[in-house]
């Protein structure tokens, strides 16, 4: 019985020491679970905050990495705003174009330099020469009705004086016959007068073709136009629109072109025997002025809407993946760095779509459209759209005392994903964290137990659920309890010796009794 009583006293003393140990060195860490849901972390494309909550970004034009304009197609009438940033997209301001003109259009914008910009919206063409402080109306191209009208489809400018406008005309007065044609309007007088440069009388259908024609001016001043007519055609002019060289495309419907000269151009669209948007999304390249096109990329269900290149090797294409039996589209960004030999998906997000893209250089590009909620969306990359590495920048605190039962840690870095875990490593010694919470793509909180841990310096390792890992070498130190020299360590040592001494003394007194 005495032996059992003595053992019980020792156990009680050890438990008391352990409880005091917890109170002295820390309480158990708490967490909020797996963390919040993060949208496309680490994709290389960052969503920007814009002062619009409805509509769609239908045009983006940038003159450098800092200055860009974006056209917003807003359903509420009248809205005559256009967006501008001068700090790379950190802030966007709304510029007012003036009094609206009723008319159909897909808003577009073309920036010549930091001061000169052309845009179209609500039936008018506008120009600024002071960076958007003031805008002047340069043209009114008619209105739309249930019986006919005109729909502006694309706008491009060479400088502050010379610009072109591609418009789609339709006449429903003679139903069941529908008359459709396209006209190219041009100005060389800063918009004081516009001339009908060319008319293209190709059969078309009004329900498919609003906004799916493209106008592009190449570096050598060659004008390229694609028309989603029946059959679809691509035509080009090397003399400013006086004469045109036209090629039929059979079942290749081109939605956008990026041309380098009179021979070399990229195009995106659909390959289908029905109407545009029902077949496979394709990326095409021509080297003979559009007479023949090589298919570089094709994917069923993909609707590509815009392409932008910085050189003959590097280009981005954007659109949406409209998969069958799904409730939401998926916005997509594709890129090539080898002239189109390979195209890789850089961004893919559930819901919404992307309508336009503008590349400034091999590192900087903007894309616009709308998100899953229907709000306008602007994305930007400053690293060529490449995935952002996973990295660990710091851990707080940077040290803990050996045998600490629970210690709260905060880890900072980049590209943390929901479900990531944290661990400490020193050679073959591994200490895993508990109660890990991914607060954001840049912060993780967790708890760590150092009870029985070997003193020394440890690497801090973060592992994403997809297998990516990042390591910060020697970032955390486990201090020896006996050698720490801290008040807590000395207190623990004193308490331990005192309690064990009291337990032994009590046993000796009872033996004497």
Q: Kindly state the average pLDDT of the residues 55-68.
A: 95
Please check the confidence at residue 274 and state whether its pLDDT lies above 70: no
> What distance in Å separates the CA atoms of residue 1 and residue 409, rounded to the nearest whole number?
47
Average pLDDT over the chain reads 82
> What distance in Å separates the CA atoms of residue 483 and residue 474, rounded to the nearest whole number?
20
pLDDT at 399: 94
- Picking from 266, 196, 207, 274, the residue whose alpha carbon sits closest to that of residue 234 is 266
pLDDT at 150: 80
Please check the confidence at residue 56 and state whether its pLDDT lies above 50: yes
Backbone φ and ψ for 461, nearest 5 degrees, come out as -120, 130
Per-residue pLDDT tens over the stretch 94-144: 999 887 777 667 889 999 999 999 998 888 899 999 999 999 999 887 666
Please check the confidence at residue 159 and state whether its pLDDT lies above 70: yes
Q: Select the more confidently predicted residue: 18 or 449.
A: 449
Q: Kindly state the average pLDDT of the residues 302-306.
A: 90
pLDDT at 333: 95
**Hey, which bits of 416-488 come out as E strands?**
421-426, 429-432, 434-440, 443-448, 456-463, 469-479
Q: Select the more confidently predicted residue: 301 or 408.
A: 408
Match 């609500």 to its residue by tokens. 122
> What distance in Å separates the CA atoms of residue 40 and residue 441, rounded to the nearest whole number?
10
pLDDT at 199: 85
Which pLDDT band, with edges at 50, 70 and 90, does 267 fall under? very high
Which pLDDT band, with edges at 50, 70 and 90, does 206 fall under? low
Per-residue pLDDT tens over the stretch 355-369: 999 999 999 999 999
pLDDT at 198: 87
Which pLDDT band, with edges at 50, 70 and 90, does 246 fall under? very high
pLDDT at 483: 54
| CA distances for 286 relative to 13, 162, 191, 304, angstroms | 85, 27, 33, 18
């Amino acid at each position: 019985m005495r032996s059992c009583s003595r053992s019980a006293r020792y156990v009680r003393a050890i438990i008391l020491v352990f409880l005091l140990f917890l109170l002295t060195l820390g309480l158990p860490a708490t967490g909020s679970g797996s963390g919040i849901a993060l949208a496309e972390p680490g994709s290389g494309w960052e969503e920007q905050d814009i002062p619009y909550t409805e509509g769609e970004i239908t045009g983006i034009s940038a003159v450098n990495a800092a200055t860009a304009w974006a056209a917003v197609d807003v359903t509420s009438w009248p809205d005559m705003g256009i967006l501008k940033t001068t700090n790379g997209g950190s802030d966007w301001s709304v510029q007012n174009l003036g009094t609206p003109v009723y008319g159909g259009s897909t808003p577009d914008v073309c920036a010549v330099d930091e001061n000169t910009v052309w845009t179209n919206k609500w039936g008018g063409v506008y120009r600024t020469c002071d960076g958007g402080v003031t805008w002047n109306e340069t043209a009114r191209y008619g209105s739309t009705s249930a019986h006919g009208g005109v729909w502006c489809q694309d706008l491009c400018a060479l400088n502050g004086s010379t610009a072109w406008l591609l418009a789609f005309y339709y006449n429903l007065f003679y139903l069941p016959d529908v008359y459709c044609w396209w006209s190219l309007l041009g100005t060389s007088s800063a918009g004081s007068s516009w001339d009908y440069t060319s008319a293209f009388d190709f059969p078309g259908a009004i329900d498919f073709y609003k906004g799916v024609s493209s106008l592009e001016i190449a570096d050598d001043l060659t004008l390229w136009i694609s028309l989603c007519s029946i059959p679809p055609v691509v035509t080009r002019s090397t003399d400013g629109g006086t004469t045109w060289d036209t090629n039929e495309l059979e079942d290749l419907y081109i939605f956008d072109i990026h041309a380098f000269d009179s021979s070399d151009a990229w195009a995106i669209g659909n390959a289908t025997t029905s109407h545009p948007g029902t077949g496979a999304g394709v990326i095409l390249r021509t080297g003979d002025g559009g007479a023949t096109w090589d298919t570089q990329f094709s994917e069923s269900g993909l609707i590509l809407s815009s392409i932008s290149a910085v050189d003959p090797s590097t280009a981005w294409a954007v659109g949406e993946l409209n998969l069958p039996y799904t409730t939401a589209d998926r916005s997509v960004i594709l890129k090539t760095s080898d002239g189109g030999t390979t195209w890789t998906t850089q961004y893919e997000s559930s819901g919404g779509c992307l309508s336009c893209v503008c590349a400034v250089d091999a590192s900087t590009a903007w894309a616009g459209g709308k998100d899953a909620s229907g709000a306008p969306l602007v994305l930007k990359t400053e690293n060529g759209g490449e995935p952002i590495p996973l990295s660990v920048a710091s851990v707080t605190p940077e040290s803990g005392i050996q045998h600490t039962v629970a210690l709260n840690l905060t880890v900072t870095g980049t590209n943390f994903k929901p479900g990531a875990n944290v661990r400490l490593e020193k050679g073959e010694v591994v200490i895993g964290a508990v109660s890990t919470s991914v607060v954001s793509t840049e912060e993780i909180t967790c708890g760590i137990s150092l009870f029985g841990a070997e003193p020394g310096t440890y690497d801090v390792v973060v592992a994403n659920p997809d297998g990516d890992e990042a390591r910060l070498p020697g970032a955390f130190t486990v201090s020896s309890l006996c050698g720490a020299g801290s008040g807590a360590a000395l207190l623990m040592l004193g308490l331990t010796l005192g309690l064990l001494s009291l337990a032994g003394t009590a046993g000796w007194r009872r033996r004497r009794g």
